[in-house]
């Protein structure tokens, strides 16, 4: 991760196909295409990758979450439970629909804590959105049980977890709807892009129409298509889809490299008694896009991060001090700093953030270090990196 590190001839050929015919839009212009339909082809490839009946490409992972929720009828005043540890896009996508993000604690999986989810459910709860952060997963069995018991949707934001599996199922294919991102720094990239994944035919049809202004996509005359309901523009372009089509064919190659590099680093750090690793639920297999580990306390973790920086060890973060991935620094959400008026439903629904604390999340995120696994590292570079990381950690835990 990310796939752009290994761009090559396959990506160039797919993009050149689009440039050759000049059709950058995924719909229409049939006679000009010379047989190339990159978005359609990528959707078919992703159906196989995710072992899912339906895939709808969209413009981003954020769009995928909004489209998925809208496809299931979630909107104004509905509550969607989500974790405190994620990217800001999670609450942005919920609020875009006029729905209310209800943030709850994570546990040692770095995903939603099922007990915290149970306590957060109200009569307004319409969905539980689990975010499979950093290439792994939350306790999916427990979350499925909670969703079933309360008759609410389970939505997977698997934007950072392509290639991970749980009990043989690809992450993103386990819930009622799954969401993926193919932005510039994902394991497979389109530059910008995302996907909604589902086995529910009605949700798929809704997502297909909603993401293209409500077009029903019936027939070969786009101007004659009807509009069964309101929609918006969340389309992906053929250029973006072309890059993704090349990249998805290389996913097994990328995952093998990630796993190799991940294991070298993990083995080196596992020899340090003070280092523990995130919990992966039984039956789960990480994508190995990130290596996540815990240190004894926040002070030690900050010391290690500073040591990494001093030694030139990049792409490692303590999200407790990060502006984008943890609730602690989301003042723009807590204070509702918006360019336009926020609805009374959402404003009132987010009042809880003024007093709510998240001690369990602080306990885990404060002690966590997350290291991105690059595809372009040589084996020698990974081993050197592992030794330097171990040396810094040992010096900090004395």
pLDDT tens digits, the chain, 398 residues: what are they? 899 999 999 999 999 999 999 999 999 999 999 999 999 999 999 999 999 999 999 999 999 999 999 999 999 999 999 999 999 999 999 999 999 999 999 999 999 999 999 999 999 999 999 999 999 999 999 999 999 999 999 999 999 999 999 999 999 999 999 999 999 999 999 999 999 999 999 999 999 999 999 999 999 999 999 999 999 999 999 999 999 999 999 999 999 999 999 999 999 999 999 999 999 999 999 999 999 999 999 999 999 999 999 999 999 999 999 999 999 999 999 999 999 999 999 999 999 999 999 999 999 999 999 999 999 999 999 999 999 999 999 999 97
Grouping H, G, I as helix, E, B as strand and the rest as coil, residue 166 is strand
Kindly write down the DSSP assignment for every residue of 182-208, as one continuous string. -BTTSSS--BS-EEEEES-HHHHHHHH
| Contact of 345 with 100, CB cutoff 8 Å | yes
Structural domain spans, the chain: 3-250, 252-396
Catalytic residue among 38, 126, 186, 374: 186
Q: Which CATH number fits domain 3-250: 3.30.300.30, 3.90.650.10, 3.40.640.10, 3.40.50.1370?
A: 3.40.640.10
Grouping H, G, I as helix, E, B as strand and the rest as coil, residue 33 is coil
**What CATH number labels 252-396?**
3.90.1150.10
Count Cβ atoms below 10 Å from residue 25 Cβ, excluding itself.
Answer: 13
Q: What pTM did the predictor assign?
A: 0.97
Place of tokens 């993009």: 15
Report CA Rg, the chain. 21
Active site residue 40: no
């Amino acid at each position: 991760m990310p796939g752009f590190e290994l761009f090559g001839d396959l990506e160039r050929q797919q993009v050149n196909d689009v440039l050759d015919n000049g059709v950058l839009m995924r719909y229409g212009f049939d006679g000009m295409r010379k047989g190339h339909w990159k978005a359609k082809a990528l959707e078919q490839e992703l159906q196989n990758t995710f072992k899912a009946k339906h895939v709808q490409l969209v413009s981003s992972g954020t769009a995928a979450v909004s489209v998925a929720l809208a496809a299931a009828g979630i909107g104004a005043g509905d509550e969607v439970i989500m974790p405190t540890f994620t990217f800001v896009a999670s609450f942005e996508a919920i609020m875009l629909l006029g729905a209310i993000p209800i943030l709850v604690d994570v546990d040692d999986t770095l995903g939603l804590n099922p007990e915290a989810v149970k306590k957060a459910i109200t009569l307004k709860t319409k969905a539980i959105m689990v975010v499979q952060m950093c290439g792994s997963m939350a306790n999916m069995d427990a979350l499925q049980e909670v969703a079933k018991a309360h008759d609410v949707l389970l939505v997977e934001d698997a934007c950072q977890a392509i290639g991970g599996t749980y009990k043989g199922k690809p992450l993103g294919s386990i819930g009622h709807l799954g969401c993926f991102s193919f932005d510039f720094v994902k394991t497979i990239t389109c530059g910008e892009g995302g996907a909604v994944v589902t086995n529910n035919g009605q949700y798929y049809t809704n997502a297909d129409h909603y993401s293209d202004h409500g077009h029903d996509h019936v027939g070969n005359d786009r101007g004659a298509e009807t509009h069964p309901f309101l929609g918006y523009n969340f389309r992906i372009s053929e250029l973006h889809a072309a890059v993704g089509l090349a990249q998805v064919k290389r996913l097994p190659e990328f995952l093998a490299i990630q796993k190799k590099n991940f294991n070298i680093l993990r083995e080196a750090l596992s020899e340090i008694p003070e280092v523990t690793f995130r919990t992966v639920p039984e039956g789960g297999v990480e994508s190995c896009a990130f290596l996540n580990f815990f240190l004894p306390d926040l002070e030690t973790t900050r010391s290690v991060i500073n040591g990494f920086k001093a030694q030139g060890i990049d792409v490692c973060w303590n999200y407790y001090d990060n502006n984008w991935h943890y609730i602690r620094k989301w003042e723009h959400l807590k204070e509702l700093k918006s360019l336009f008026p926020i609805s009374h439903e959402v404003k009132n629904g987010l009042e809880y953030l003024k007093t709510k604390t998240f001690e369990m999340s602080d306990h885990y995120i404060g002690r966590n270090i997350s290291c991105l696994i690059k595809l372009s590292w040589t084996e020698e570079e990974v081993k050197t990196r592992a030794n330097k990381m171990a040396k810094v950690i040992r010096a900090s835990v004395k």
